[in-house]
Amino acid sequence: MTTSTWTSAYERRLKMVEDVLTGRTELDAKGARHLAVHVLRALDHIPERVR
């Protein structure tokens, strides 16, 4: 039996940004996650018509 785990859209976006940061910088996982939270917060405050 397989079980599925529900993941929010925010968590998927956060993981994607975190993966890019760890792949392209020398940040560790904790630092990349912390920065990813700030990046998403900034992106979410840009008005939709500007994005």
Q: How confident is the model at residue 25 (pLDDT cuts 50, 70, 90)?
A: very high
Secondary structure (DSSP) of 2-48: -------HHHHHHHHHHHHHHHHSS--HHHHHHHHHHHHHHHHTS-T
Residue 15 lies in a domain: yes
Number of domains present in the structure of the chain:
1
**CB under 8 Å to 25, separation ≥6 — which residues?**
32
Residue 24 lies in a domain: yes
- The domain in which residue 39 lies consists of 9-44
Q: How confident is the model at residue 49 (pLDDT cuts 50, 70, 90)?
A: confident
What is the pTM assigned to this prediction?
Answer: 0.79
Are the beta carbons of 21 and 36 closer than 8 angstroms?
A: yes
Residue 49 lies in a domain: no
